[in-house]
Amino acid sequence: MRTNSRSNNCCADGDVGAEQRVDLGCDGRLRCRRSEAPAVARTERLRIVVDTGNGATCGTTPQVLRLLGAEVIAIGDVPDGRNINEGVGSEHPAQLAMRVKATGARLGIAHDGDGDRCVLCDERAWSSTATRS
């Protein structure tokens, strides 16, 4: 087990679960890269449901897909610092499948809270899990 020099109480009680938005300045970089995307990566007129699990990908996946031209329907995109994976995300793919079918979307993408896994769902609500180790 790895330890560090901090005490076990590394956060003040008020900081646990606190959310802080940080502008990473990625919007400009994404815009200039759109022109470089191959036609197959462009998603004009494609409706996609994106479930970010109230986690790390809330500000990236929907934004990238919108910049590529997709109509994005976002769920699980209201993090509060405590609700990561709570009933949403790749840990709960049934919600994704229902939303894809209800909205007539062609694709659903659900990430887990830290963004290292996803579940993909097509318009028939068939899903496939992709995990990166």
Q: What is the pTM of this model?
A: 0.71
The CA-CA-CA angle for residues 48, 52, 53, to 5°, reads: 135
Looking at domain 26-131, its CATH superfamily turns out to be Alpha-D-Glucose-1,6-Bisphosphate, subunit A, domain 3 (3.40.120.10)
Residue with tokens 């590529």: 68
Distance CA 18, CA 59 (A): 17
The number of residues making up the chain comes to 133
Task: Give the pLDDT confidence of 22-33 residue by residue, as tens digits.
Answer: 455 555 555 555
What is the per-residue pLDDT across 60-113, written as a single tens digit (0 to 9) for each?
A: 999 888 888 889 999 999 999 899 999 999 999 999 999 999 999 999 999 999
Q: Hey, is 16 helix, strand or coil?
A: coil
Place of tokens 């318009």: 123
